[in-house]
Structure 1
Amino acid sequence: MAILIDRNTRVMTQGMTGKTGQFHTQQCLQYANGRDCFVAGVNPKKAGEKFEGIPVFATVQEARQTTGATVSVIYVPAPFAASAIDEAVEAELDLVICITEGIPVRDMLRTRARMLGRKTLLVGPNCPGIITPDELKIGIMPGAIHRKGRIGVVSRSGTLTYEAVAQLSELGLGQSTCVGIGGDAINGLKHLDVMQLFNEDDATEGVLMVGEIGGSDEEECARWVKQHMRKPVVGFIAGVTAPPGKRMGHAGAIIAGGKGTAQEKITVMEECGIRITRNPAEMGKLMKSVL
């Protein structure tokens, strides 16, 4: 069991023939069942070609119909990435993982509006992707640090995802699935959406949740956890020392109107029964202590 992706997932890469798409597709092919799972690329200018033996199609729809792929990963440059998401949604894929950073907010507002009522789930943009260890990785995370196990990880920060995973693995705590939801202000799945999936996943025994300043997603997730979560949750919030009004790294990591501070998030999460560490070096140890 896992959430969102496993060894039976069939994946297409939008932007596979670009420098970034080529590099990370190769890395994914070399991890676990990647050779079986990645079945198509999409680039209208390179249709009919192959990359690493994988056929390139002109459209997402054609790639889906020909190969049966139901998941897409996007490495398309920022000015065109929202349109790539739109195309995947129109083709009714199950899941789209958008790695691209720097997509204009206006573009994502339009794309989110177009997604209303559609079946496609979106992870990202500006995210590291998803990995189910020893089965499949879709994205840019280093596969070697992951171990198969029963801890779910959901994070807004890519590098803190890797740090959390490395700590868990070092302590002998493998992961069921790790989901990097991305740090943009307008994105797809939130902490709450992923937490609900972990709650229903028989292979997940506990969840490590990494958040950061900006917005109210962590607080909304925490309130749901208090009412519904059947498994232990631990957390870390980045940005305790961030000054109000200054964006910290991610497009969504900004304290505005007095809302979205790290302390506010920590307070709500602790009130809702989530164990919090203020030291990022202690995330794994805290997770182990609650199991």
Structure 2
Amino acid sequence: MMVTILQHASFVAYVLSSIFFFRYISKDSERTVALAYGTAIAGLIFQVFPMAVIIREAGYFPLENPLLMLSLFSVCILCIFLAISLRHRFAISGTFVMPLVCFAAAGQLVASAPSLSLPEPLRSWMFTMHIMLVTLAFSFFFLCASTAVFYLIMENQLKGKRQGALFHRIPSVLSLVRIKASMLLWGFASYTLALVVSLYWSLQIYGVAVLPGDPKVLVSVATWALYGGLLLATRLGVMDPRQSAYAVIGSLVLVVLALFGVGHIFPRDQL
């Protein structure tokens, strides 16, 4: 009962936070920003407690529980957003992040936990670490893409010599480039570490580092290569900031579509 109450409370807090962040577009005031961040942090606190209860009751990190996975993603992306946004005075990015967090929180209210428990080999702390690192990596990738969108908005306003409602609420172009590069680096590092952990875990469980023919392996390697190439191109200056922004946005869309396709084309017990 308490878990359900806290989940509803977190959803309400996230909805209020989204409203305040969108309100910030037209009303730039300290009160609006404070309310936006305050309700987001309150929602985060309300969400962490149910996660702790679910893990304690299960006796392990129940990765098969969609409620927990949605919570994990919400917590990861929200913590990164708060750290980056507060540091760089990038409150306007909440208009991208909070609706996604609201969607995940709403999913918790309608999703039901499966009756089957996670197989014993998957209860390994290494597999749990792998999932958490992957979730963290995609949180960085999403924030990288959202920063790229704001970069394109800012660049278009500068080129058109227009100063709309967003102009004074978005960090400078140079700051956006640095934030995007930082998110890409941390996302790639997290994803690389996730793959290393996964390979070691697979070697311990199955005796081989890579399961041949596993579609998830192909998508994982392709994702790693894609973001590695983006990071290298960014470091070498192969693409200009505008091209890099489009590449980051397109990469996220392609990877999400690929993961969605793998999850629906192949049966769950084969993944």
**TM-score, normalization: structure 2?**
0.29
Greater C-alpha radius of gyration:
2
Counting helix residues as a fraction of each chain, which structure ranks higher?
2
Instruction: Work out which structure has the larger RCO, using CA pairs closer than 8 Å and 6 or more positions apart in sequence.
Output: 2
Counting strand residues as a fraction of each chain, which structure ranks higher?
1
